[in-house]
Amino acid sequence: MSGDARWHLYLVRCDDGSLYTGISTDVPRRLDQHRNNRGAKRLKGRKSLQLVYSREIGDRASAQRVEHRVKRLSRAQKEALIVGSLPLPLE
């Protein structure tokens, strides 16, 4: 993977309605890994994982900062982010 790869923030809805937040340079590949029980322990064994949000962030450091901010949001705020009524907390 090159140093200039474009990183994305993504949210996945699990079968129980919970939301998982992650970052990746290739969201479809990462979602496939999650669906095949590779990667995040929190998603192992979960069924019907659905990508509900994805946005390009830029470099890895920026993506990690935004991921941290999003993980601190309440469930209601994450749902608002998904439908577009809450801006992504970039700063």
The string of pLDDT tens digits covering residues 35-90 is 888 878 888 777 789 999 999 999 999 999 999 999 999 999 999 999 999 999 98
For 28, other C-beta atoms within 10 Å of its C-beta total 11
Structural domains in the chain, sorted by start: 7-83 (3.40.1440.10)
User: pTM of the entire structure?
Assistant: 0.90
What integer pLDDT is reported at residue 4 of this predicted model? Answer: 73
